Amino acid sequence: MIKNGVVQVLRLRNFSIYKQLLLEESLYRRKDAGNWLIINEGTPDPMIIMGISGRPDKLVHLEKAASLNIPIIKRYTGGGTVIVDHNTLFTSFIMNNDFIQQSSNNNHNSNNSNNNNSQSYLYPKDIMKWSEGYYKNVFIDYNDFSLQEHDYAFGNRKFGGNAQACSRTRFAHHTSFLFDYETDRMATLKQPEKIPTYRENREHNSFLVKLKDRYDSHNTISQLIIDAMTNLLLSNNNNNNDTAAVLDKDDSPSKMMMMVDCTLQDAMRYLNTSEDNIPSTVWLEPLDLLKQLELEKNK
Q: What is the pLDDT of residues 144-182, one digit of tens each?
A: 999 999 999 999 999 999 999 999 999 999 999 999 999
For position 102, what pLDDT does the model report?
80
Q: Is residue 1 part of a domain?
A: no
pLDDT attached to residue 1: 42
125-127-128 Cα angle (round to 5): 65
In terms of Cα–Cα distance, which of 170, 134, 172 is closest to 152?
Answer: 134
Q: Is residue 40 part of a domain?
A: yes
Maximum alpha-carbon separation in the chain: 70
What type of residue is 177? F
Strand partners for 164: 173
CB 248 within 8 A of CB 272: no
287 pLDDT more than 80: yes
Average pLDDT (190-208) is: 88
- pLDDT, residue 138, reads 98
Q: Which of 191, 199, 192 is nearest to 153 (CA)?
A: 199
DSSP letter for each residue of 69-92? T--EEE-SS-S--EEE-TTEEEEE
Confidence category of residue 67, pLDDT binned at 50, 70, 90? very high
How confident is the model at residue 240, as a pLDDT? 63
Say what the pLDDT of residue 194 is: 84
Greater confidence, 247 or 34?
Answer: 34
Residue 284: predicted pLDDT: 97
* Domain at 113, CATH number: 3.30.930.10
- The answer to whether residue 286 is domain-embedded is yes
pLDDT for residue 274 is more than 90 = no
pLDDT score, position 298: 86
**How confident is the model over 7-21, as a mean pLDDT?**
98
Q: Which domain holds residue 98?
A: 6-297
The span from the CA of 159 to the CA of 83, in Å, is: 13
Domain total for the chain?
1
What separation in angstroms does the CA of 264 have from each of 25, 40, 185, 209? 15, 11, 29, 31
SS3 267: helix
If you average pLDDT over each of 81-90, 122-131, 198-207, 231-240, which comes out highest?
Answer: 81-90
Q: How far apart are CA 121 and CA 167, in angstroms?
A: 7
Residue 106 clears pLDDT 50, i.e. is over it: no
In a domain, 213, yes or no: yes
pLDDT of res. 257: 76
Long-range own/partner contacts, residues 238-245 (CB < 8 A, 24 or more apart): 239/104
Is residue 79 assigned to a domain? yes
Contacts of 109 by beta carbon, 8 Å cutoff, 6+ apart: 115
Percent of the chain whose pLDDT exceeds 90: 73
What pLDDT shows up at residue 251?
Answer: 47
Q: Does residue 230 sit within a domain?
A: yes
Adjacency order of strands within the sheet including 157-166: 145-148, 151-154, 157-166, 170-178, 88-96, 35-41, 6-13, 258-262
In a domain, 250, yes or no: yes
| Helix (H), strand (E) at residue 204 | helix 204-207
Per-residue confidence (pLDDT) for residue 255, from 0 to 100: 58
Residues whose CB falls within 8 Å of the CB of residue 112, separated by 6 or more in sequence, listed in order = 121, 123, 126
Averaged pLDDT score across all residues of the chain: 88
Residue 294, pLDDT > 80, answer yes
Read off the pLDDT of each residue in 131-139 and give the average, rounded to a whole number.
97
- Whether 118 is in a domain gets the answer yes
Angle at the Cα of 222 (from 135 to 185), degrees rounded to 5? 90
**Cα atoms found within 13 Å of the Cα of residue 190, Cβ hemisphere only:** 14
3: pLDDT confidence band, cut at 50, 70 and 90? low
Q: Tens digits of per-residue pLDDT, 219-250?
A: 999 999 999 999 999 888 777 654 444 445 45
CB under 8 Å to 125, separation ≥6 — which residues?
Answer: 110
* C-alpha–C-alpha distance, residues 158 and 227, integer Å: 23
pLDDT > 50? residue 143: yes
User: What sign has the CA pseudo-torsion 185, 189, 190, 192?
Assistant: negative
Contacts of 296 (CB under 8 A, 6+ apart): none
